Amino acid sequence: MALTRRPGAYHCGTEAAMDVIGGRWKVSVLWALEDGDGGPLRFGQLRRILGGITEKVLASHLRELVEDGIVHRQDFAEVPPRVEYSLTPRGKSLYDALETLGDWGQANIIDAASAPSPT
């Protein structure tokens, strides 16, 4: 499945990746789906893990991640309805790439109190 959400060609792979993970909560959704026990999570579980995300934003981000082949949505034909979300193999490979980026960020966080003031 190719990334086709944005019309036209991407200029580089990083641009395509940023198109997929763009949005305030998408990286956090990937983290929640991978860093938990590794099993699928229901919508309510994701919402509790992520804290301040609204239902509307979570639903929108999940829909886009499913469309991009990053997240798998399993709809069980039960009453009451049950839906579970998990990372696809493509999603796991994206998570692995983001893990490296997260390591870089963690190593380069500057404590605002100890940072030199700009002059």
pLDDT of residue 5: 56
In a domain, 118, yes or no: no
Task: Express each pLDDT in 17-70 by its tens digit.
Answer: 888 888 889 999 999 999 866 689 999 999 999 999 999 999 999 999 999 999
In a domain, 89, yes or no: yes
In a domain, 15, yes or no: no
Q: What is the CATH number of the domain that holds 70?
A: 1.10.10.10
Structural domain count, the chain? 1
In a domain, 37, yes or no: yes
In a domain, 7, yes or no: no
Residues 16, 98, 86, 52, CA torsion sign: negative
Instruction: Report in angstroms the alpha-carbon separations of 33 from 15, 26, 58, 79, 95.
Output: 23, 11, 13, 24, 10
pLDDT of residue 115: 63
In a domain, 78, yes or no: yes
Domain that holds residue 53: 23-97
In a domain, 2, yes or no: no
| C-alpha to C-alpha distance for 33 and 45, rounded to whole angstroms | 10
Kindly indicate the confidence band of residue 114, based on its pLDDT and cuts at 50, 70 and 90: low
| C-alpha to C-alpha distance for 47 and 104, rounded to whole angstroms | 27
In a domain, 65, yes or no: yes
